[in-house]
Amino acid sequence: MTMKIFIFIGLIVLPKLIFGQLTFFQDIWNGGVCFSGFSTGISFSGIQSGSFETFVEPSSTIKKVFLIYNTHNLPDNSIYIELDSEAIELPSETMIADDYLETQFTNLYSVKHNILDISNIYQNINIHTITIPDQTFLNCDYQPNCFYGNFTLVILYENISLPKLGFTLFINNQHLNQQVTAYPLEFNPININKDIGLSLNTEIIAGFLSDNSSVFVNGINIGSIGGSDLTNGINLNDFGTRGHFYYQNDSLFGLDDDTPDDIMTNSDALANISSYLTSNINLNLILQWQNPNVHQNVYSSINLAYSTPCSTINTIVSKDTIICKVETIQLSASGGINYEWLPQTDLSCYSCANPVFSGDSSQLYTVRIWANDSCSVVRPIMIKVRQQPKTSSYFQSNTLCGDSTASINWQNVGSNQYAFDNGSFQTSGIFNQVGAGNHLLTVKDEFGCEFDTTISINSYLSVQSEFSVSATNGESPLTVFFSENTLNADGFWWQINNGGQLSSLTETTFTQTGTYLVSLFAYENDSTCVDTSFATIVVSGNNTLVFPEGISVNDDGKNDVFEIIGLENYPKNEITILNRWGSEVFHMKNYDNSWNGKSKKGFGKSEELPTGTYYYVFEVEDLEVFKGFVWLVR
């Protein structure tokens, strides 16, 4: 039975690199290294399977195993490949590496080079079987060439009976849509009188003479590569080629159809380059299309295995880890005298041993650790930042004022848990008996990452304040009868001209001239849940002007304007209304009882004025000036 294995440590993605930053892994140890793999080319329909050979010296211990692969055009789903009957997930949702453009005729596509650490499941055998599923179900926004491909292994093994070797793994950091691609490579000091293995890992380079890639080492053309490796099982030209090899005992050995000579030819992408080196710490590698009109030559990674005078360096570095967004984590490295962290982003320092990470997105770092002999090792550390958990949608209701009758229903997603107003977490996102106001909802995912959001619950009134009056104006003394008609009220009180509260009001006689504002306040549940209605009573004397003491601008047809009783007898007049700070808010000649609580000065735009007390000055031709206060209520 096939056992499915999910590997978190696995998706190691590549940082955005500049010169000197494409080194993914470098080490010095007693033992050897092997590189071999299998490609599907551009054949992503139907199940692809095959086998490939590796070599590990008997009695050796596996030190590290990397699985390198490419993705084309950002597949929207994970796939499982089978390696020696072990199912390994290649999860698409964590693919955050930079993508490098490739060109096929006039179309641009994206390629990502990804690496999984599969050391914990690797089976140390010499012949490996691999199966790639049918990938026609993948969706890349309907773009062609949407698939996973080019699966290769880098196997590091330890054996104390073997001499030291140095190994550096470089990952492509150049766009693939250019005819000439230059890779300036730096590495630990090399014993140049020993074998130096240069192995290229490529994909989709056809075997036709018009579509190969020429290889230059320090300006010397060492051959042209392209075509299909024998390990692919069938001879299709567009599979691309890999330099299969193993290196131990200061010697380079070829696997598959690759030979450890000093040239590369067709599907042989392996060469012993010791005779081309002019420096023992760097070289210039150039890959060039033979035909500038035929594109889509994909370069994934570069292997360099060599004998070195450097001593082994015992290091300890932080493990790959998952953190929640907005969290920080301290990284660590030890065993050296100097350190360099790349890329230089989101860390508290870049040349110290223990920087603090404070980024908000996932990032692969490499730390270079120098020993006192100027030799160094490079280690990758993946920090995966989980985004804050959220649910897809939620529903909420409002509550009756003074009660807690609202409900909140968050739609459950995955294994999320929910807490309300700092209460205990529960698996359901439903909360009942919620009162009005702002509330805190906390969503927690299966990894313990939390996301807070504020939910506002509004309240509504069912009470309606309403009353009728027998008269709204007349000469003093004026008797007025009141009839209360409220709905759904638990209690109420009356006020006249904002005076003291009256528990009841059925009738009253107004003996003084003036304007009277009568208010009825009705409430339900508690006295803060109030609805208010108003009526204005104007009491006038014979041949006098009567000014209102208040207006209620609520469009109920009652007392909505500043109405002066007797104004019709004085058509030539002028009125000015000022706010409490003495600023003019309304002015009008030949006032016509039209002021409705809005500002109006000259030809300016009118605006609603807030509730409050205002001062009026009313001038009548050949008569005195009238002054007073009016209360504006909305």
Distance from the Cα of residue 439 to its chain's centroid: 24
The per-residue b/e assignment along 413-448, b for 16 or more CB within 10 angstroms, e otherwise, is eeebbbbbeeeeeeeebebeebebeebebbbbbeee
**Per-residue pLDDT band at 36 (split at 50, 70, 90):** very high
pLDDT in tens, 326-338: 889 999 999 999 9
- pLDDT for 92-126, tens place per residue? 654 444 566 666 555 677 788 888 999 999 999 99
What pLDDT, in 10s, does the model give residues 145-174?
788 889 999 999 999 999 999 999 999 888
Tokens 């193993």 found at: 246
Query: Is the pLDDT at 237 greater than 60, yes or no?
Result: no
State the average pLDDT for the chain: 86
Q: Which residues of 244-264 are buried (b: 16+ CB within 10 A; e: fewer)?
A: bbbbbbbbbbbbbbbbbebeb
Lowest model confidence (mean pLDDT) among 111-125, 223-237, 246-260, 467-481: 223-237
Per-residue confidence (pLDDT) for residue 4, from 0 to 100: 36
As separate numbers, helices (DSSP H) first and strands (DSSP E) second, the chain gives: 0, 51
Could you tell me if 205 and 227 are in contact, meaning their C-beta atoms sit under 8 angstroms apart?
yes
Question: What tens digit of pLDDT does each residue of 175-221 get?
Answer: 887 888 899 999 999 999 999 999 999 988 877 667 889 999 999 99
| Confidence class for position 481, pLDDT limits 50, 70, 90 | very high
CA distances from 549 to 77, 468, 531 (A): 73, 20, 22
What pTM was computed for the model?
Answer: 0.68
